[in-house]
Amino acid sequence: MKRFLKFILPCGIVDLTKNRQKLRDIGRRLSPAEWLKSDRLALDAEQSGLSLFAPGHVGKLRNVVDVGANTGQWSGMLLNCVTPEKLIIIEPLPDAFSVLQKKFGNNRRVELHNVAIGERESVEALKITRDTTGASLLQPREEMRAVVGSNWTITSEVEVKMTTLDRLLVDFAEVSLLKIDVQGYEKPVLAGAKQTLARTKFLLVELNFMPQYDGGSWFGDVHQILTRDFGFFLANASQPQVLNGRASMCDGLYVNPNLVGQWVKPDFV
């Protein structure tokens, strides 16, 4: 009843109008039955990074790859907003992968891979943290305790198979959107994805403003590699997450101008 009253009141109508426009920009049309869910769907578009796209591009996404899916938080939000032809979900953590199988195992559009991604074929030790979203092939820096507390304390390790994106995605002529969230392991992932990146239109990657893991990547590393070595440009970024008064991270959307003819209409000529 509260949701219904909110909807019929003037403020609710204004919110619905704003949400419908946000979703229309990413090609998501609301049916009347979904009007009461417009707040949640608009939030999914924002938190998934789809709202970072210029209008007209999201609806054309065909093959989407989620590297570092954890339990499918990002993939779930993506599927609430768009319906790609193929969604490849990659996660090395065994327990998280079991959750992914339950969530997406019956979806014919989804392909699941229980592997880590890096620059070579090998077996590696995955460090599992108390909050599993911090699990990484790298050791968390001790200095990060002041920022994230004890949630990234390592509780156990497990051996996982590692492969490269070039090997895993060799049969895909195009990657419409590549999402990477690998907890500081971005440089090895990109090193093993040279052929894949040449076929990738859009890249959504977590950008850390401080190194969070020993030997891990940060914004400067990732930005330089993508722009200098692969010719991408940074098109948009989410509002930074601030922890203890410090900008910690954000999501950056990079565009491959060799594959995307017109990102936006020029602001001036």
Q: For residue range 81-135, list pLDDT tens digits in order.
A: 999 999 999 999 999 999 999 999 999 999 999 999 999 999 999 999 998 989 9
> pLDDT for 5-59, tens place per residue?
454 555 566 777 888 888 888 888 888 888 788 889 999 999 999 999 999 999 9
Give the model's pLDDT for residue 169. 98
Going by pLDDT thresholds of 50, 70 and 90, the confidence category of residue 255 is very high
Q: How many Å is the Cα radius of gyration of the chain?
A: 19
| Integer Cα distance of 226 and 215 in angstroms | 19
49-118+162-255 falls under which CATH superfamily?
Vaccinia Virus protein VP39 (3.40.50.150)
| Integer Cα distance of 263 and 257 in angstroms | 8
| SS3 assignment, position 206 | strand
Contact 68, 182 (CB under 8 A): yes
- With tokens 């920022």, the residue in question is 147
Query: E strands, the chain, where?
Result: 63-67, 86-90, 110-113, 116-117, 122-129, 154-163, 175-180, 200-208, 233-237, 241-243, 246-255
Written as six digits, the tokens of 54 are: 């210029």
pTM for the model? 0.91
**Residue 16 or residue 170, greater confidence:** 170
Give the model's pLDDT for residue 136. 94
Q: How far is CA 48 from CA 35, 66, 156, 227, in A?
A: 20, 11, 29, 23
Query: Angle 164-248-229 (CA atoms, 0-180°, nearest 5)?
Result: 40
Give the model's pLDDT for residue 10. 53
Neighbouring-strand partners of residue 203? 178, 254
Neighbours of 148 (CB within 10 A): 17
CATH 3.40.50.150 maps onto the chain at: 49-118+162-255
| Integer Cα distance of 182 and 204 in angstroms | 12
CA nearest neighbour of 222 among 197, 186, 177: 186
Contact 126, 99 (CB under 8 A): no
